[in-house]
Amino acid sequence: MSGAAGDKTFCEFFAGIGLVREALGASGWSCIYANDVDPKKRALYESRFGDEGHFHLGDVWETAEVVARIEGRPRLATASFPCVDLSLAGHGRGFEGRHSSTFFGFIRAMEQLGERRPPLVLLENVTGFLTSAGGKDFEAAAMALAALGYRLDAFTLDAAMFLPQSRPRVFVVGAAEGLSPPGTVLKPPSGWLADAWSERVESADRRIRPARLVDLMRSIDLPTGWIAFDVPAPRGAPPHVATLIDRDDGQDWWDAAAVSRHRDMMHDRHRERIDATAASGGSFVGTIYRRKRDGRTRAEVRFDGVAGCLRTPRGGSAKQIVIVVEAGRIRMRWMSPREYARLQGAPEFPLVSNTIQNLFGFGDAVCVPAVQWIDRHVLSPAFATGIPEARRTPRGRQPDARPAPADDAGGAREEHVA
């Protein structure tokens, strides 16, 4: 029996400000539980969705409370678990770090749900997830999900496929054994010379299934097996970043001294190009990141119409700068929270009064149209095929639910650093 619309329920772990919910709600998914440890992100979440009583402001390792708060059997669980130990800023800690290891708090909760475990799971994280610990962290996550009875697929998407923001991310989809999503093919036992699974993953657009990911999927022998959804690359081009930037005089433009200082930080090639545009009376709208290069701070301009990856504002170098050249003038300012919201695909999302709080929320969130693309091609079609009978975790295949470190900060979403 196909899934009934009223049963299209999900719970979101590491919910942040709720952009996964923002994406899934468009096709009728109903959130029945949300978890995060950050009260400031909860404030943004509730500014959008209201105080419905199911937001659990607490540690994901509080397994008993998590399970008690989840009513019935949700059809989907999403987990955008902390990436800080998997990103370039994580110093290679991976799952040994106290932030990203909260993934196993999520696994423990899924295990304890037993027969109420969702038949679908969606993970999201930075592409460093594929290389952390030489691929061992990705393998550990895959094996933990397989121990719960999920067959897995994985692919990458960049926000730049939909919006003018560079934000590549890895997504892992788990489908319970017994669920038969339309169009999926199963990886056969090793030794087969040719098969539909290999043909699908190897012929796919490399932006969706990069070689590093395909190699990992080939090398990890899951007890449940790998599947491959039919996930075509998004078509079309995103709009230019200029279409999302406010250029009126009411913005907080910097004074001449600040503009001159950042102009002087530019590489010669960047500065010459900006100066030539101003001298010719031409126009240019773009973004700047401040970065450390060879021991000095550089202001690096993007000229490709795409903003850099939005980050949480830990210091000035993590905040993007808007640069506008018009009528011979060069203007600069910090990117606004509303522009952050537009670059994440949530242009009308309510803001709170604190600018830094807004920037943290959106800088540590998912791209709405990327999740909607996954929903359209993977989640909703899988839901529509019907929900298999719930099963307990098979004996001898217990998940790697690692104990929480004594000093763990809990189930917070941490900043996503490219």
- What 191-199 contacts at long range (C-beta under 8 Å, 24+ apart), as own/partner pairs, is 197/226, 197/227, 197/228
Choice among 31, 83, 309, 367 that is catalytic: 83
- Whether 83 is a known active-site residue: answer yes
Give the number of other Cβ atoms within 10 Å of residue 297's Cβ: 12
Asked whether the beta carbons of 344 and 311 are under 8 A apart, the reply is: no
Pinpoint the alpha helices (H) of 96-237. Answer: 103-113, 136-147, 196-203, 211-219
Between 268-280 and 256-265, two packed helices, what is the crossing angle to 10 degrees? 130
Euclidean distance between CA atoms 94 and 312, whole angstroms: 19
Euclidean distance between CA atoms 154 and 201, whole angstroms: 10
Euclidean distance between CA atoms 76 and 120, whole angstroms: 5
Q: What is the largest CA-CA distance in the chain?
A: 73
Give the DSSP letter of residue 105. Answer: H
Euclidean distance between CA atoms 75 and 279, whole angstroms: 59
Between 355-363 and 39-49, two packed helices, what is the crossing angle to 10 degrees? 90
**Cα angle 207-344-66, degrees, rounded to a multiple of 5:** 95
Q: Which residues are catalytic?
A: 83
